[in-house]
Each structure stands twice: as C-alpha cells, then as structure tokens.
Structure 1
Amino acid sequence: MTRNKYSDEFKEQIIRECQETGNVALVARRHEISSNTIHTWIRKYRQQGSVKSLPRGEAVRAKALEQRLKEVSQQNDQLKRLLAEKELELAILREIRDLKNPH
C-alpha cells in the first residue's frame, strides 16, 4: 500500500462526511476504509487545519503555511460577510413581521 493512496480531496470529503453524520465507523464501512485511518486524518486535520502534507524544506514549509493562512483568512472573511448578510436578512424579516403583527 502506498503512502498517498487517497487524494487530499478524498480525505477532506471523508472528514466532512464524518462531521455531518457524527459516525466515523459508518463512514469507514461505507467507503471500506479503516476507521483508524479516518481518525488519523481527522487528528491531522485538527492539528494542521488541513489533511495536506507539508513540504519538507524549511523555507518551502513556511511558504506553504503562509499560503494556508492566507486561504483560511479569506474563508474566514467570506464567512463573516455571509453571517452579516444573514443577520441583516433576519433583522429585515423581524421588522416586516412586527409591522404586520403588532403586539
């Protein structure tokens, strides 16, 4: 068995599936993967924020970490904007509700 038998995208898909179902054993059986393997992926994901392996060279590792940090920051900004939009929508809906059904 080779070290990189599964792609990083596949590993991330499996981790998402485990998060959605809350059941690693079920996902492992469904995909015929050892639950220990999935737990290793999850542990690595929690520690590094990704299942992707870091390059070996020190400078290359630093650059890869900077890139990951940039990506996470961009995702965080997108999520903040999305949350703000949803909060605004809720506020508008509450105002409409209160205008139609005054207490």
Structure 2
Amino acid sequence: MKRYSDEFKEQILEECSQVGNIALVARRHNISKSTIHSWIKAHRKNGSVKPLPKVLDKRINELEKRLEEVSTENERLKRLVAEKELELAILRDLRNRVNPR
C-alpha cells in the first residue's frame, strides 16, 4: 500500500474542493476515490488529515458519550417539566373553579 505525505493529502483535498469532483481528481492522480473519501472523513473529524493522537481520540470518544448521556437526560427533564406545568395548570384551573376570584 502506498503512503502519501500529509502535505500531499492536503493538496488533494484542496484540489477536490476547487474542482468539486472527487472522481476527476482521483483519476488525475491515480488515487482511488475511497482513499480520498477517507482523507476527507479524517479531515472533517480532526480538522486535518493527520490522525489524532490516541489520547485525544479517546477523550473525544468519552466526550461524545457524555454528550449523548447529557442530551438524553435533558430530554427526560424537559418532559418532566412539561408534565409538571400541565399538572400546575390543572390545579390552578380547579382552584379557580372552586374559589373564583
């Protein structure tokens, strides 16, 4: 398997961005489209074609998991608040019926 320098990868990604056609750039440089797509994916994830150090990659995974947990908890709390607001509205309505102002 051929290895490409990070600078070359960045050049290819820039060319893809300018040309707007990955297949054409791949043919020009005799590189598979899937290779370029993997570079694009890495670039989107890391902001660069250089792989993240394992420590950072692990930390990102931990933070993504925590974000998912917090998002789930947030949705649960939103539902709970909505239920409590409904209960409060019902109680106010009952109070006003029994003891009109």
Normalising by the residue count of structure 2, what TM-score does the alignment of the two structures yield?
A: 0.52
RMSD, matched Cα? 1.6
Q: Which runs of 5 or more residues in structure 1 are unaligned?
A: 63-103
Give 1 or 2 for the bigger CA radius of gyration: 2
Aligned mate of 2:22, from 12, 21, 24: 24
Residue type at the aligned position of 1:34: S
Aligned mates of 1:20, 1:48 — CA distance in 2 = 21
Aligned length: 57
Structure 2 residue ranges without an equivalent (≥5): 58-101
d(CA) in 2 for partners of 1:34 and 1:23? 13
Give the % identical residues: 61
Q: How far is the alpha carbon of 1:12 from its aligned partner?
A: 0.4
Match in the other structure for 2:46: 48
Give the partner amino acid of 2:25: V
Question: Does structure 1 retain, via aligned residues, the 8 Å contact 2:13–2:36?
Answer: yes
Instruction: Check the 8 A contact 2:43/2:49 in 1, yes or no.
Output: yes
Contact 2:46 2:52 in 1 (8 A): no
